[in-house]
Structure 1
Amino acid sequence: MIKIENLSKSFGRRTLWSGVNLDIERGQTLAFVGPSGSGKSTLLNCLGLLEAPSAGAIKYEGRDITRFGRRSTRGFRRDVLGYLFQNYALIENATVADNLRVAIKPGRGSSNRPRVAIDEALHRVGLAGRGKEKIHVLSGGEQQRVALARLMVKQPELILADEPTGALDHANTVMVVDILEEMSRAGCAVVIATHNDYVRDRCDSVFTVASATTSASPVR
C-alpha cells in the first residue's frame, strides 16, 4: 500500500533521520517509537503530506505522493487518510455530531466499506447520546474519543495517529487500541507514533525512529 524509499529529513544542518525504507501494508498496525526529538511525528507528518521530506519517495500504490500538487494532495487526504492528532483537530464551536458529519461528505470515492453510523460510533467510544454537546465543553480525553469516532465514520484507507492515548486512562487506552485494531483487520493500515509501551506491544510491528544522523530501523 505505502512504500517509503530512502527517505530523509533535515532542518538546516541537522539531519533528523535518513535512509528510511519501509513498507506499510493494509491490515497492519505499525508503531513508530523512539526517544523524544527523534522525529516520530515528523515522519508521520511526511506520510500525511503535512511536511515534505528532504529526499526520497513515499509511494501509495505505486504513485509518489511527495510529488503531488495541491489538488492531488487534497484528494489524497480526503479519500485515503484519517488523522488522530494530539490536538484533536476538532471544530470547537460545533457539536459532537457535526464534527462527525464532516467525515461523510459525498464523493470520497476511495472506500467501498459501509459507513459507520454516527450514533453507533459515539456508542462505541462511550459518548452515546452526547451528539448535541459542543466540543469546547468536553474534556481532552472526551475530545480524543470524538476524533476516534470521526475516524470510524470516515473509514479511511490509512490512519495516522500521533500519541492517540496521551490524554486517556488505561481503560480508554484499551478501547482506542481495540477500535484501531478492528479497523486494521477490516483492511485499513494504521500507523501510530507512541511512547506508550502498551500501545507499542499491541501493534503488529514496530519501527524505531532513531535520532540525529542514525537511520531509522525496523525492530520487528
Structure 2
Amino acid sequence: MTTPTDAPTPSTRRSTAVITIENLAKSFGRRTLWSDVTLTVNSGDMLALVGPSGSGKSTLLNCLGLLEAPSAGAILYDGQDITRFDRRGVRRFRREVLGYLFQNYALIENASVAANLEAAVKPRRALRNSPRVTVAEALDRVGLAGREKEKIHLLSGGEQQRVALARLMVKQPALVLADEPTGALDHDNTVMVVDILREMSEAGCAVVIATHNDYVRDRCDTVFSVDTASLTTPLRAGSTY
C-alpha cells in the first residue's frame, strides 16, 4: 500500500492503538451484514468507513459506540473487550473515552448553547498534545462566538451541528465516532468540520467517520470499505474541496 506524497505520514503521527476490532460480525436473522472485520484505529488516526447505503457503516459505528451488539468477534480498548462491559462499564466508557458527532446532533434542545457544552466537561486530563479548550474558545472556533445564551431549538440545523462539534472540542475524547457528519452541511461548514476533526486527530484523538462524501474520505488517513472489508489509503488525501 503506497502513501501519497501529500498525505499525512502515519508513522510520524500515530502512537498507540485506541480501538482494535477482531473478527467482528453482525447478522440480522439469516442476513449477515458484514463479517470478519478486523482493523486497528490508532491515536492520531482519521479513518473513513465507506460503502453503499445498507452496507452497514452506521451499524459498525454503533457497535464501536456500544449502541448495538455485534453478533461475533471482539472490540478491544486498553486490552479489554468492551462488548462484554456491564451497564456501569458502558456508561464509563462513553463518558470518559467516546465523543459522538451524528446527524441528529444529540443536543438538549431546551437548554442553552453553553449548557450543552458544559455538560461535556469532565474531570480528566486533556489529550497529551492538546490543552483544555474552554466553552468560549470552542464556540469561537466554530463561528458561534458570543452565542452561549441562545437556546438550541432556536438555531438552524447547521448551527446545531457546529454546537455539537464545539462540544467535542470541549470534551476532548480519545475516540470520536462521526456518522455522516457533513451530510446536511454546505461547502464551508463541511470544510470546517473536517478541519476541526483533523486538528483533534493531530492532538492524539482517534476519529472514525462513516461517510458518502468523497472530500471527507480523501481527507482521512485510511479508508475501510465495509462491503469489501478492505483497508486503503486515499489517493487524493489532503485534496482541495
Please, what TM-score do these two structures have when normalized by structure 2? 0.87
1:110 deviates by 7.7
How is 1:54-203 mapped onto 2 (pairs within 5 angstroms)?
54-106=71-123, 108=124, 111=127, 113-203=130-220
What SS does structure 2 have at the residue aligned with 1:104?
coil
Letter in 1 for 2:71: S
1:111 deviates by 4.9
Q: Distance in 1 between matches of 2:80 and 2:187?
A: 39
1:218 deviates by 1.4
1:109 deviates by 6.0
**5+ residue gaps, structure 1:** none
Letter in 1 for 2:163: V
Letter in 1 for 2:102: F
Indicate how the Cα distance of structure 1 residues 68 and 111 shifts in structure 2: closer, same or farther if over 3 A, else same: farther
Q: Equivalent residue for 1:216? A: 229
Please, what TM-score do these two structures have when normalized by structure 1? 0.95
Count of paired positions: 215
Q: Is the 8 A contact 1:20 1:217 kept in 2?
A: no
Deviations 1:19-51 (A, max 9, x none): 100010000000000000000000000001010
1:69 deviates by 0.5
Fraction of identical pairs, as percent = 78
Q: Equivalent residue for 1:18? A: 35
What SS does structure 2 have at the residue aligned with 1:91?
coil
Q: Distance in 2 between matches of 1:110 and 1:151?
A: 12
Q: Is the 8 A contact 1:97 1:132 kept in 2?
A: yes
Q: 2:55 aligns with which of 28, 34, 38?
A: 38
Tell me how large the CA RMSD over aligned residues is. 1.2
**5+ residue gaps, structure 2:** 1-17, 234-241
Q: Is the 8 A contact 2:126 2:132 kept in 1?
A: no
Q: Distance in 1 between matches of 2:132 and 2:164?
A: 16
What SS does structure 1 have at the residue aligned with 2:25?
strand
What SS does structure 2 have at the residue aligned with 1:10?
strand
